[in-house]
Amino acid sequence: MSGAFSLINMHYLLGGLVVTIVVSVISILISFVLGTLIGIILFEKVPYFTKTVRFISNTIRNLPLLLLIFFTFFALPKLGVELNAFAATVVAMSVFEASMVGEIIRGGLLSVGADQAEGALSTGMNKVQTLWHILLPQALKKSIPPLISQFISLVKDTSLATAIVLPELTFRSQVIYGQNPNYMIPMFITIAIMYFIINYGLSLLAKWFDKRMV
Amino acid sequence: MINIFLENWKTLLDGFWITILSSIVGLVGSLVLGTIFALLEMAPNKFLKFIGSAFVEFFRNIPLLVITLFFYVVVAADFHISGFWSGTIGLILYTSAFIAECIRGGVDSVDPGQMEGARANGLTYTQAMVQVVLPQGFKLAIPSLGNQFINLVKNSSILSFVAGFDLMYQANVISGENLDPFNTYIIVGIMYLIITVSVSKCMSIIESKVNGGATE
């Protein structure tokens, strides 16, 4: 096979897909853990600490992710933190998505209801036990559909790392159609299908959870 | 840090203006297109429904960058549209899919009795939908629409990929000249926050106005 779909091109493109998936999975894991922590802090109202965390997470949430990616890649070296494109993408995405996840988890915790907490506390559980055994499991369950849509955004947003030359799917497709303008349309269709399959699959998963919950 | 602003204020304000302009055009465009998609998705006709859902699912599940680059690289080659327009068109298509979902969610939570009552009074489906159900659904969708508008402003940074001369683009130009990305990006970040925070403040004002008008 030759042309846009030659073996070399396809091999190169699939390598990009792997990079996209690896970046997404690592960022999802980090942002989930960090975001749950942020959500708990926002919910529990620790004096001063909660206010600080809320200020930071609101600031990050209101900035474009692209700006954060540029910042981690180009500006952090000024502070002595040198990251390669891969690490910079993961750091920027994790921080940005964690503040989004924090907001989702906080909403989930709020929707569990005060009577659950009161009931748990009155049976003799302490605050940490109440949170860990009673509130958090219910909140996480309610948060699954919005969390999945957030992670769909995350997968799509990995394409922004093209800007700092991370060799992920979108970047590699650009390299391929850079060789020959005739490859443009096939390449766009191919990567659109690849992204679509991943994200549509995730959205079906979210719908499935949504149905089971009701 | 303030020096960077004083030295480049003209460029920065140019970018600021382009970002706002693209956001406003994007907002109006995606609101119109999103409403159309939502109406198609909810149409009783199976064919229209399929077209609506296909559009929404397609644009929701591929990256904005891919849509934008497609317009910049493929479409612009034949139709000569500028970077600003390829970015903004991409933004409109992408955001309209999300707005369609918000509006559909809003309309879904309108009491079905409204539709039935309107139909019983002799309105056609289209009349009942557009004049009775949609306005109420719109009201219910305002909080989630607000989130989408903030996302729209943030996503307008995609223009920097296609030489759209927006704030992000100018930030890269300036930091390339003064070799001080740290402070440049902080200034640009503050400028983005000015837009996004005021959008979210406006949305909560609108939300409380709309809710205050309703009889509780």
Of A25-34, A74-83, B154-163, minimum mean pLDDT range: A74-83
Is the Cβ pair B197, A67 closer than 8 Å? no
Q: Report the alpha-carbon distance of residue B191 to residue B166 in Å, rounded.
A: 12
Query: What percent of chain B is modeled with pLDDT above 90?
Result: 67
Share the mean pLDDT of chain B.
91
Interface contact A195, partner B, CB < 8 A: yes
Residue of A64, A70, A162 with shortest CB distance to B154: A64
Reply yes or no on whether the pLDDT at A182 is more than 90: no
Residue B1 predicted with pLDDT over 80: no
Average pLDDT over residues A197-209: 90
- A14-36: average pLDDT: 95
Lowest pLDDT segment from A1-5, A127-131, B102-106, B184-188: A1-5
Tens digit of pLDDT for each residue in B104-153?
999 999 998 999 999 999 899 989 998 999 999 999 998 889 999 999 99
Please list, in sequence order, all residues whose beta carbon lies within 8 angstroms of the beta carbon of residue A128, skipping any fewer than 6 positions away. Answer: none
Above 60 in pLDDT, residue B97? yes
CB contact (8 A) between residue B63 and residue A170: yes
**pLDDT value, residue A2:** 65
**Which residues of B make CB contacts under 8 Å with A?**
57-58, 60-66, 69-70, 73-74, 77, 150, 154-158, 160-161, 168, 171-172, 175, 180-182, 185, 188-189, 192-193, 196-197, 200
**Mean pLDDT for the stretch of residues A83-88:** 93
Give the pLDDT of residue B85: 93
Check if A81 contacts B (Cβ < 8 Å).
Answer: no
Q: Check CB contact under 8 Å for A62 and B154.
A: yes
Whether residue B76 has pLDDT greater than 90? no
**Domain of A61?**
3-213
Q: Pick the residue from chain A with its C-alpha nearest to B19.
A: A64
Please answer yes or no on whether A159 and B66 come within 8 Å at the CB atom.
yes
Is B2-213 in CATH node 1.10.3720.10?
Answer: yes
Rounded to the nearest 5°, which phi and psi values hold at A52? -65, -50
Contact A66 B157 (CB under 8 A): yes
Residues of B in contact with A149 (CB under 8 A): none
Of A63, A78, A200, the CB nearest to B182: A78
The 3-class secondary structure across chain B, one letter per residue, is: CHHHHHHHHHHHHHHHHHHHHHHHHHHHHHHHHHHHHHHHHHCCCHHHHHHHHHHHHHHHHCCHHHHHHHHHHHHHHHHCCCHHHHHHHHHHHHHHHHHHHHHHHHHHCCCHHHHHHHHHCCCCHHHHHHHHHHHHHHHHHHHHHHHHHHHHHHHHHHHHHHCCCCHHHHHHHHHHHHCCHHHHHHHHHHHHHHHHHHHHHHHHHHHHHHHHHCCC
Torsion angles phi and psi, residue A2, rounded to 5: -130, -170
Q: How confident is the model at residue A190 (pLDDT cuts 50, 70, 90)?
A: very high
Q: How confident is the model at residue B189 (pLDDT cuts 50, 70, 90)?
A: very high
How many domains, chain A? 1
Question: What pLDDT was estimated at residue B95?
Answer: 96
For residues B172-196, average pLDDT: 92
CATH of the domain at A110: 1.10.3720.10
Judged against a pLDDT cut of 50, whether residue B215 lies above it is answered with: no
The answer to whether the beta carbons of residues B18 and B164 sit under 8 Å apart is yes
pLDDT band with cut points at 50, 70 and 90 for residue B216: very low
The 10s digit of each residue's pLDDT in A167-176 is 999 999 999 9
**Residue B213: its pLDDT value, please?**
57
Cβ–Cβ below 8 Å for B185 and A67: yes
B192 to A66: CB separation less than 8 angstroms, yes or no: no
Mean pLDDT, range A27-52, rounded to an integer: 93
- pLDDT, tens digit (0-9, with 9 covering 90-100), for B18-35: 999 999 999 999 999 999
- At residue B65, the pLDDT reads 95
**Residue A8: exposed, middle, or buried by beta-carbon count in 10 A (0-12, 13-18, 19+)?**
exposed
Asked if A33 and A95 count as a contact pair (C-beta separation under 8 A), the reply is: no
d(CA B191, CA B175): 15
**Percent of chain B clearing pLDDT 70 (strictly above):** 98
Which residue, among B185, B195, B202, would best test binding to A if mutated, counting the most A CBs under 10 Å from its CB? B185
